[in-house]
Amino acid sequence: MEAFGEIARKAGGWLPLIGASALLGTLGALALPLVLGRAVDAIVYGGSPVWFWLAAGLIALGIAADLVDAFAGTACVAGTTAWVRDRLVRHVLSAGPRHGFATGDLVSRVSGNAAEAANAGPALVTVWTSVLPPVGSLLLLAYLDIWLAVAFLAGIGMVAVVLRLFTVRTASVVTAYLTVQGRIAARLSESLAGLRTIAAAGTAPREERRVLASLPELHEQGMRSWRVLSGAAAQGAVVGPLVLVAVLGTGGWALSAGRVTPGELFAAGQYAMLGAGLGSLTSVFGRLARARAGASRVGEVLAVSPVSYGDGTLPWGRGRLAFCGVSVDSLLTEVTFTVPGGSSVAVVGRSGAGKSVLAAVAARLRDPSAGTVLLDGVPLSSLSHRELRSAVGVAFERPRLVGATVRAAIGDHAEEAARATYAHDFVSRLPSGYDTPLSAAPMSGGELQRLGLARAWGASRLLVLDDATSSVDMVTELRISRAMIEAGGRTRLVVTHRLSTAARADLVVWLEGGGVRAVGTHEELWADRGYREVFG
């Protein structure tokens, strides 16, 4: 509900224009039956043709109001949709990998749900102005004859009940439908990312069944929405004519008694249809329900707390890294060790020991649930965003390159960083070198890893390498390690499965079951049979 209100307010200056056009259009629609009735009386009894010209003017007013409403509504929804999408993307990026939503589901929320939520402001205005036709019809019927208003009022209560039930049911059904749709989108995104693996393993039929497993549920939610809509239509098919019959019956009796004229009876019938018309009202309330459902899905993303940063800076130092009683849920428990500045530490352990979690905490891609991580004596959480990201660089086992070109993917000092990580040779062979679009630069796993290392190379204090050289040949890895040492002044935390990498490190942190089994040099730990078994 909070997101719905915020999105509605964002519509800003368009809402008064939408409200004014809707108000003028509604007032014109309410005046038209009475004017037409006077025109009918002018035909029956003889009178001035001014009523015909007035009717033509009201029709023109209605057309103009519809045009303004269409323009303002479209512009408002387009602008608000852009704002909601921008807000969502910025929020997801600020939350980082901790947002907790599947990629396909996020795409569904940013694309489809944001567009639905953007209708919040116009839908609210339209709902409020939709109250005018029944209220105005009631007042004008009372002006014509009080008993016409009584007959109309008896039926309009049923219309209100139908609309209330329709709105509640529609909001529930649409939310459920969008949730299932997002689930399917998430699974499809996962499959597309692993398309080559699926093709190589010959598991396409099984993957197809997994992706489409929720299709029957989606179909059921779609059928529910149709049942809600058809139920409202059926109820409207009964309620609307009943109101009309009640008003016309009462009007016929009033005509025979001489209390109303034929033109006024004609106007009464028009007001009965206008005030009890469920067709337009269900579309209005349906739009509001879809906007609420979309805003609810958007609000779930915006409710995720973004990463908070301090305003601290680092003193002079070489990247002394200290873990002080760090725990992360059930993944790491009371991890404590210190790495002298400018040295290298290898993090080893069996699969599932917590190595990647420890690397993520060291790079502040994840915050510990207890304990503190210090860089040159300063808690990572107290550093400003700029200070943290200039001091700490991260490279991954499967890097995702972001940017239009290879140069953009590496970042500042692209060529210098590529030379240091031995990526310059293959980048130079690309069609346009560093300016080659990423889509036109097919690369092996090792080449991708070298570009990932180049992207992290500019960090001034700490390099965190999460198995970032696993696809690089051992000669190139040795050269990169030497380049890191020669660059100097930076601490290297390296998650690795390679014996040679652990042997070259100044210090080894051996993890087991989420805790530190031992800390020492490779030579010291090698005497332990369990340590040797880590490397097979």
pLDDT digit string, tens, across residues 298-327: 888 888 888 889 999 999 999 999 999 999
CB 47 within 8 A of CB 157: no
- pLDDT on residue 314: 93
CB 318 within 8 A of CB 342: yes
The span from the CA of 67 to the CA of 78, in Å, is 17
CATH code for the part of the protein at 321-534 = 3.40.50.300
- pLDDT on residue 521: 94
- pLDDT on residue 285: 75
For the residues 108-119, what does the mean pLDDT come to? 87
pTM: 0.71
Query: Which tokens is 242 given?
Result: 């009943």
- Given a cut of 90, whether residue 525 has pLDDT beyond it is yes
Percent of the chain residues topping a pLDDT of 90: 25
- pLDDT on residue 487: 65
- pLDDT on residue 334: 94
pLDDT tens string 450-470: 898 889 888 899 999 988 777
Helix (H) or strand (E) holding 344: strand 344-348
For the residues 176-200, what does the mean pLDDT come to? 79
Domain assignments of the chain as residue spans, ordered by start: 2-302, 321-534
For the residues 363-389, what does the mean pLDDT come to? 94
For 200, residues 6+ apart whose C-beta sits below 8 A from its C-beta are: none
For the residues 248-274, what does the mean pLDDT come to? 79
- pLDDT on residue 290: 83
For the residues 188-213, what does the mean pLDDT come to? 78
Percent of the chain residues topping a pLDDT of 70: 92
Helix, strand, coil shares, percent, the chain, to 5: 65, 10, 20
* pLDDT confidence band for 396 (50 / 70 / 90): confident
- Given a cut of 90, whether residue 284 has pLDDT beyond it is no
For the residues 201-207, what does the mean pLDDT come to? 78
State the average pLDDT for the chain.
Answer: 84
Architecture of domain 2-302: Up-down Bundle (1.20)
The span from the CA of 316 to the CA of 313, in Å, is 10
Query: Comparing 199 with 306, which gets the higher pLDDT?
Result: 306
- Given a cut of 60, whether residue 1 has pLDDT beyond it is no
The span from the CA of 191 to the CA of 257, in Å, is 75
